[in-house]
Chains A and B, each alone.
Chain A
Amino acid sequence: SQQGEEDPQALSIQEGENATMNCSYKTSINNLQWYRQNSGRGLVHLILIRSNEREKHSGRLRVTLDTSKKSSSLLITASRAADTASYFCATSGEQFYFGTGTSLTVIP
Chain B
Amino acid sequence: DAGITQSPRHKVTETGTPVTLRCHQTENHRYMYWYRQDPGHGLRLIHYSYGVKDTDKGEVSDGYSVSRSKTEDFLLTLESATSSQTSVYFCAISDFGSGGPYEQYFGPGTRLTVT
- Residues of B in contact with A, size category: 20 to 34
B105 close to A45 (CB less than 8 A):
yes
Query: Which residue of the partner chain, among A1, A2, A31, A101, contacts B101 with CB atoms under 8 Å?
Result: A31
- Residues of A in contact with B, size category: 20 to 34
A41 close to B48 (CB less than 8 A):
no
Q: Which residues of A contact B59 (CB under 8 A)?
A: 1-2, 97
B43 interface hit (Cβ, 8 Å): yes
B74 interface hit (Cβ, 8 Å): no
Q: How many angstroms between the C-alpha atoms of A92 and B94 in the bound complex? A: 11
B103 close to A100 (CB less than 8 A):
no
Q: How many angstroms between the C-alpha atoms of A2 and B45 in the bound complex? A: 11
Given A42-B90, A42-B107, verify A100-B41 contact (CB < 8 Å).
yes
A51 to chain B, nearest CB (A): 8
A88 close to B102 (CB less than 8 A):
no
Q: Which residues of B contact A99 (CB under 8 A)?
A: 42
Interface residues of A (CB under 8 A from B): 1-3, 30-31, 33, 35, 40-45, 48, 50, 88, 90, 92-101
